[in-house]
Structure 1
């Protein structure tokens, strides 16, 4: 379940990245849609980082041990 949340957040970050690119090309920087898209992407990235750090701290995700 936790891995699905992480993957979903990663996909949302990538989608926000490409929507910002689309708005930049379409609008030419005349509207605030690019800034809004970048704000959403930063917020999603921070949320993703927090989810990963909290799950590592609680033991939900484990780092790959050396063989």
Structure 2
């Protein structure tokens, strides 16, 4: 479940990245949608890093190879 949540958050980060790119190209200078997309992307990245740290320290994510 944790790995699926991490993958979902990574996909949300990439989606926010591309929506920010779209808003950068298409919107006028007075629009705040680019700033909102950047905020969402930073929050998604921070949550992803927190989930990875939680998974590592709780033992759900391991560092050693499986073989």
Q: Same fold (TM over 0.5)?
A: yes
CA drift at 1:7: 0.5
TM-score, normalised relative to structure 1: 0.91
4+ residue runs of structure 1 moved beyond 3 angstroms? none
TM-score, normalised relative to structure 2: 0.91
Unpaired runs of at least 5, structure 2? none
Measured against aligned partners, the alpha-carbon deviations of 1:14-65 in whole angstroms (never above 9, x if no partner) come to 0000000001111044300000000000001000000000110000100134
User: 1:9 & 1:47 partners in 2: Cα distance?
Assistant: 8
Unpaired runs of at least 5, structure 1? none
SS in 2 for 1:64: coil
> Match of 1:58?
58
User: 1:58 & 1:37 partners in 2: Cα distance?
Assistant: 31
> Match of 2:6?
6
User: 1:35 & 1:51 partners in 2: Cα distance?
Assistant: 24
RMSD over equivalenced CA pairs, Å = 1.6
> Match of 1:36?
36
